[in-house]
Chains A and B, each alone.
Chain A
Amino acid sequence: MTRRRVVTGSVLLALLVGAVVWAVWPESKAYTAEERMITVRSGPGGDEPVDLDTTFYLPKEAGPGRKVPAVLLAHGFGGTKRTVRTDAEDLAGIGYAVLTFTARGFGRSGGQIHLDHPDYEVRDAQRLLDWLAARPEIRTDAAGDPRVGVVGGSYGGGLALLLAAQDKRVDAIVPMITWNDLARAFLPESTGGQPVNGVLKKGWAGLFFGSGSAGPGGIGGFGNLGTPEPPGVDPGAAGGGAGAPPSPAPTGSPAPGVRPPSPAPPASPGATAPPGRVVPPGNRGVDPQCGRFAREVCEAYLQIGATGRGTEEAVALLRRSSPAGVLDRIKAPTLLIQGAADTLFPLAEADANARGIAANGTPVRVAWFTGGHDGGSGPDSDRDRLKYLTAQWLGHYVKGEGPEPDRSFTWSRIAGFNALDRGLVATGYSTADYPGLAGRATQGVIVGGQPQSIANPPAGNPAAISSLPMAQGLSSLLDGIAGDLAGQHARFDSQPLDRPVDVVGAPTVTIRAASPTGEAVLFVKLYDVDPQGGSTLSSGLIAPVRLTGLPTDIAQARPITVTLPAIVQRVEAGNRLRVVVATADQGFATPSEPAVYTVGLGDGNTATVALPTVPGDPIATPGVLWRWVLFGLLVAIAVGLALVLLVVRRRHRRTDTSVTPEYADTPLVVRNLRKEYADGFVAVSHVDFTVDRGQVVGLLGPNGAGKTTTLRVLMGLTQPSAGEIYVFGRRLVPGSPVLSRIGALVEGPGFLPHLSGLENLRSYWRATGRSLEDAHFEEALEIAGLGESVHRKIKTYSHGMKQRLAIAQAMLGLPELLVLDEPTDGLDPPQIAEMRRVLKRYATGGRAVLVSSHLLAEVEQTCTHAVVVNKGAIVASGPVAELVGESPSVHLDVSDVEAAQRVLERLAGVRTTATEGGTGLVVDIDGRQRSEVVAELVHAGIAVDRVMPRRRLEDAFLALVGESSRGSGDR
């Protein structure tokens, strides 16, 4: 490896390592976090102390000189301040001081759970605002009035609304996936009935209560600091945190028979938290029935849970914890975020909040996403959107930066699966303002069917499972497992839709029912049925109704309008709508008395399902941008390629194609050739020679003299460092067309081993693109002399056979200049003799041959001319005869070699070398006459048997290159 490569490699490696380090280096935090217990006084009298476990995140740049706005970040039911840490860090990162706290009754905070009671939780939060106002780093609007936004999800969202209603100091709120009327959320009734007549959402109610009580197996204990943070806590992890949804106790699953799969997107802290967390020591002796719930809350639940019916007192208690009654007091601009996959607090809750707050002229903006208490935080696109909306809202109304956000309504719909992270993908839409649950327009789809009788099972068992709280994405799967049970439901189908409908809002349908008791609890569901029969219940949302005053005969039943839960769903063309009316559902408490009802559609045997639609513009995602990037990239590559081709063509046109006249008829002229390799080794320092027509020129030199390098340059395989080569007067560079007039054998044969000799020659000739007649295969094959072996595969050939085939390949097309590198290598003596004749004959008729060899005999016997190179330079060149004529030595056979040597060494300048065998003596006579030497010997009495002039090139070679070629290296 050369030094340059080492340097290049090191630089690349350094860049790579740098990039990796930069990517994984932990970012230096832009904030400080300070944990402390804050004791606040609240309760009806404002005098009951309670310790709240808080963490205060303060941006590093904040200080008394540079005050920052604050955000009070509340967590979800069953969570602690730790479950909103990520959101707190995000908000702190964009310049807000963030106070997170564990609500009373949870974690390490003291007190009992009063369900966002105005005198307890809300007052706690007011005291925290006082605390914020007292901090020197927090911007204030007036003394004791901090500039603050309140952000929270679910339980925290409810707190945000109630706090904003109770405390005018709040500057903006972002309540997420939260309730408007807690009583209606737990006791829904879809024909407009009051919560006292509602149908208890027992699945969720159980979870809600279970996660707040600290009894054995309960969960609502201690977010003990030692446990790692449960992953992915926050639905709608908008820069404003969303609280955790109420944690489901794994033991409290409403459907023990069905194993809830772990949802693909993270759902909730509780879903992954170990069951039975540590209970604070102080609470060990806690009431096993109520856990950390306040007594009155506990009793309300016990009451409702036992009967499955709401009572006036219980509803009043839940209403006290609901924003519904105080919305007119909220003056803080409100960004409402609600999830479509939420069977606990469906979209209707946010709708009621939005209408109530907007009625006072308070700025309200609504956004829906595809997650929720069942759906988790939704796909990335949703999270990004909510994060942006939150940051924009707080930015304007709290920080005072940025223009006023518009009131546009944004929502999203699941569009499929993401192939890379296996999550969901949602497409976002927006429209100018919030249309409400009725949509901008309504599309009617007629469903039909005869009235059907359906049975209410005793004690609501068995029952259909429409949704499992927190187990998002399961509803379609449930259809096959525990969907509607035979005998318990009536179906009413539509015709296939002729065009797709995008439902955004709450569909309505009218039904009729008859009951022997005059009462019935029914569940109305709207399915999207594809042509294969697969049915989808959007997010598992169903409409429970409690009907009273029913006739016993369906014929007398009056139509009742049922408002189905608001959904965001696209019904494809070709799909049907199916209205199902069922008697029992796992998620709800139903009458335990068995009964048989008759249900039919509102309009005789038909009914119109009114589907609200909202035309929206798709929100551009980065995906669109990437498409343009791809397009631009392709264009750039096309343009780049065209430019390169253009440059190459122009350069090609500029290449010197002129003919140097004096060399026009000379097959080969090499001038001042020099080749220095990248590592600095000079293989050829200075080589000049000419090959004329009719000549067989031998390039003679010891191993490593630079012969092969010269031939490589000559064949265009390597670039010369300096010097020129002319072939028939044309300058030769790598790839010069004039190379086609040269046939070559350089550095041994090179054939495709899997082809026969003949196929190799054919394949080679095809590659030249020249016509077959020009090839003269017969002559070439004759020279190769391989006989039938020419049809055998090359890999069976001996070295000599390959060599002969390679020479034949070089002669294909009878090139005017034949360049052969060590052609006799591997040939046996008769073949060598034949080769000599072939080469001599070849050179007649105006062609020329250049042969390189390190064997003197070969050059002497084959060549007309020789060029002797050594150590990269020419030491002699000329006709072989001339070179040989310069031989200064003579071979003598004498009777006494030693005596003869003594005699001859007396002659000035004469050197002698004894040859093997005893009688031979090589004498360098240094220009003297041979006769003089012989006379001298005879005179000394030494018999001379034979005098042989040394006409062999060997002497010339040795004389010219010196005695030793050691150290010349491999060239």
Chain B
Amino acid sequence: MSVLHDEASAGAAAGYRPHATLSVWTELRRQASRRRTQLALGFMVVLPLIVLAAFQFGGNGDEDNGRGEFGSLVEMATSGGLNFTLFSIFVSASFLLVVIVALFCGDTVASEASWGSLRYLLAIPVPRARLLAVKLVVALAYSVLALLLLAGTALLVGTLRYGWSPLRSTIAAEIPAGEGVLRLLGILGYLAVMLMIVAGLAFLLSVSTDAALGAVGGAVLLWILSSILDQITALGALRDFLPTHYSTAWLGLLSTPIQTDDIVRGCISAICYATLFWSLAFWRFTRKDVVS
């Protein structure tokens, strides 16, 4: 009987170390083999191509987009690779990315529970906090990857089709291409921070239910509810506390000089919500009876 007698793995089987179980790499491969991961990431690549095709075949509609100063994002989408990327982000930020992040973070634990494989992971035993941490890291990694894939593909095809030119918008002077890339990265960073709220909510629901659909759908529904409430100006200052209230503050990064006040407040809001949701998720999962 070769039992390791170090403290962490007292009495364990040969080769078992708690911190070596379910490595991030293992979990990445587990998730990568899933069709929904492949489809979601694939769609991030395909979307800019579809948008590009739509611009190619769609002709020149000269309707007023009616979105005020920012409506120009649509009109300027074909002015260069950076603007095309900006447009792709603009159209996906409010819903598509929310669904994608909710999918990655909401499905991860709930689907294991519904397959029954969760209890075998826990019986290995993968420590619960570790299981959750690895799951979360991997889900976030895929979310970030999706974001980068979308922006990267859009930048690539947009630049190939429309050329490499400064970032334009009517709310500020042209931004040189080099700085434009930095602004785009800033926008992506802010979006990533805002999407942490969805990630947190979906993850909390994921450890609370065995139905993956419930976790993903629940997170998206609550996000939509918050967006609707945010439209009701009668709520006054209460709207500032809605998780979606600052979701479009990244537009401030397009102006010169950049407007960071709302971005900072949005970050505070997002970090508070994400911390709350993730803390609850860990607190719950490390105590709950896994009976699925």
| B47 within 8 A of partner (CB) | no
Complex CA distance for A755 and B234, rounded to whole angstroms: 52
Contact of A737 among B125, B245, B258 (CB under 8 A): B125
Chain A, Cβ-Cβ closest to B230: A420
Q: Which residues of B contact A763 (CB under 8 A)?
A: 26, 29-30
A754 at the interface (CB under 8 A from B): yes
Q: State A749–B10 Cα separation when bound (angstroms).
A: 28
CB neighbours of B1 from chain A (8 A): 816
Residue tally, chain B, CB below 8 Å to A = 77
B31 to A, closest residue via Cβ: A752
Residues of B within 8 A of A768 (CB): 16, 21, 124
Q: Which residues of B contact A718 (CB under 8 A)?
A: 289-291
Given A264-B68, A715-B119, A741 contacting B33 (CB threshold 8 A): no
Interface segment among B97-105, B143-151, B166-174: the answer is B166-174
B268 touches which of A629, A747, A770 (Cβ 8 Å): A629
A633/B123 contact (C-beta < 8 A), A657-B10, A717-B291 known: no
* A 402-423 to B, binary, CB cutoff 8 A, 1 in contact else 0: 0000000000000111111010
Q: Is A633 touching B272 in the complex (CB atoms < 8 A)? A: yes
**Cβ-based interface call for A767 (8 A):** yes
Residues of A within 8 A of B121 (CB): 767
Interface contact A774-B15, CB-CB below 8 Å: yes
Are the CB atoms of B268 and A630 closer together than 8 Å?
Answer: yes
Given contacts A717-B123, A752-B115, contact A418 B18 (CB under 8 A): no
Contact A767 B11 (CB under 8 A): no
- Among the 9-residue stretches A286-294, A542-550, A620-628, the one with 4 or more Cβ atoms under 8 Å from chain B is A620-628
- B123 and A744 contact, CB distance less than 8 A: yes
- Bound form: Cα–Cα A719–B68 in Å: 58
Contact pick for A747, options B119, B238, B289, CB 8 Å: B119
A719 to B288, CA, bound (A): 8
**Contact between A416 and B258, CB atoms less than 8 A apart:** yes
> In the complex, what distance in Å separates the CA atom of A418 from the CA atom of B23?
44
Expressed in whole angstroms, the Cα–Cα distance for A209 and B23 within the complex equals: 79
Asked whether A929 is an interface residue with its Cβ less than 8 Å from the other chain, the reply is no
Q: Is A486 an interface residue (CB 8 A)?
A: no
Q: How far is the CA of A420 from the CA of B260 in the complex (A)?
A: 11
B259-292 vs A, CB cutoff 8 Å, 1 = contact: the mask equals: 1111011011001100100000000000101110
Closest partner residue, chain A, to B23 (CB atom) = A769
Q: Complex Cα distance A24/B267, Å?
A: 26
Interface-side segment among B50-58, B154-162, B246-254: B246-254
Contact B122 A734 (CB under 8 A): yes
Which residues of chain B come closer than 8 Å to A744, judged between CB atoms? Answer: 120, 123
Tell me the chain A residues, 730-754 only, with Cβ under 8 Å from chain B.
Answer: 730, 734-742, 744, 746-754
- Cβ 8 A contact of A621, one of B9, B258, B261: B261
Contact call B126/A767, Cβ cutoff below 8 A:
yes
A798 contacts chain B at the CB level, 8 A cutoff: no
A746-787 residues at the B interface, CB under 8 angstroms: 746-755, 759, 763-764, 766-771, 774
Interface residues of A in 774-807 (CB under 8 A from B): 774
Cβ contact within 8 Å between A747 and B10: no
A870 to B250, CA, bound (A): 63
Report the separation of the CA atoms of residues A677 and B171 in the bound assembly, to the nearest whole angstrom. 61
Determine whether the beta carbon of B238 is less than 8 Å from that of A715. Answer: no
Closest CB-CB distance, A499 to chain B, in whole Å?
16
Whose C-beta in chain A lies nearest to the C-beta of B12?
A: A737
Name the residue of chain A whose CB is nearest to the CB of B115.
Answer: A750
List of A residues within 8 angstroms of B17 by Cβ: 769
Please state if B117 and A418 are interface contacts (CB–CB under 8 Å).
no
* A–B Cβ pairs within 8 angstroms, 5 of them: A20-B238, A420-B245, A648-B129, A746-B123, A764-B120
| B interface residues, Cβ below 8 angstroms from A | 1, 7-18, 20-23, 26, 29-30, 33-35, 68-70, 115-129, 171-174, 234-238, 245-246, 248-252, 254-262, 264-265, 267-268, 271-272, 275, 287, 289-291
Given A24-B235, A416-B258, list of 17 further CB < 8 A pairs? A23-B236, A530-B174, A626-B264, A627-B264, A633-B272, A712-B289, A730-B11, A734-B122, A736-B125, A739-B125, A750-B120, A752-B115, A763-B26, A767-B30, A769-B17, A809-B120, A813-B13
Closest 5 CB pairs of A and B: A750-B116, A769-B20, A416-B255, A419-B251, A623-B261
